[in-house]
Structure 1
Amino acid sequence: MNAPKLRWVLFTAAVTFLIAVLLTSFFKEIRKVDTLAATLDKRMEELVGEERKTQKLKQDISYYSTPEGISRLATEQFNLVRSGDRIYKIEVTSQDNLQ
C-alpha cells in the first residue's frame, strides 16, 4: 500500500483545522444569539410592565380629573367629607396591648 503523499496529509489537516475553527465560531455565535434573545425577552417583559403602569396612571389621571374622582381623593387622602355624609369612628381594642 502506498503511503499518502505529504500534500494530501497537509490538505486534510488544513481542512480539518478550518472546519474545527468554523464550528467553534458557529457554536459561540449561537450561544451569543441565545444570550441576546434571553436579554431581549427580559427587556420586553420590563417594557410591557412599564406600559401597563403608564396605562394605569393615565386612567387614574383621567378619573381624578372628574368631580367624582376629586371627591374621592379628598375623602381618602385629606379626610374631608361632604355635607350630609356620616362619619364613623372605629376603635379596636386588642388583648395584646393589655398585657
Structure 2
Amino acid sequence: MSRKKGNIAEDLAKNYLIDNGFKIIDRNYYTKYGEIDIIAIKDSIYHFIEVKSGKNFEPLQNVTNKKLEKIINSIYMYLSNNELDVLFCIDIVVIKNGKIDFISNVSV
C-alpha cells in the first residue's frame, strides 16, 4: 500500500477511535523493529493499534505472527523510552470497502 493510501486509512481509523472515546497519543511511532500506526488511551489502558485496509483482499491476512512480534517489540521499546509501566493491549482497525472493524486485544 502506498504511504498516501496508508495515511488516508490511518486518518479514518483515528477519527473512528476518537468518536469511540479514545485519546490519540501518537501516530507512526518508528523503532528498529517497525512502526506502530496509532497509540491511544482509553479507560487508563494504552492501545497500540495496527491499521490495515484494502479493497480486493482481506486486509487482516496481513497481520501475521511475525508482524505481531514486531509490534510487540516496538511496544516494549516505546514503554521503555517513555518510562511507562502501564496496562496495554494490541488492537487492529480493519478498513475494507468503507467499513471499519475494530478488533480488540489481539495476541500472538
TM-score bracket relative to the smaller structure: under 0.3
TM-score normalised by structure 1 residue count: 0.22
Q: Bigger radius of gyration, 1 or 2?
A: 1
TM-score normalised by structure 2 residue count: 0.20
Which of the pair is proportionally richer in helix? 1
With a CA cutoff of 8 Å and minimum separation of 6, indicate the structure with the bigger relative contact order.
2
Which of the pair is proportionally richer in strand? 2
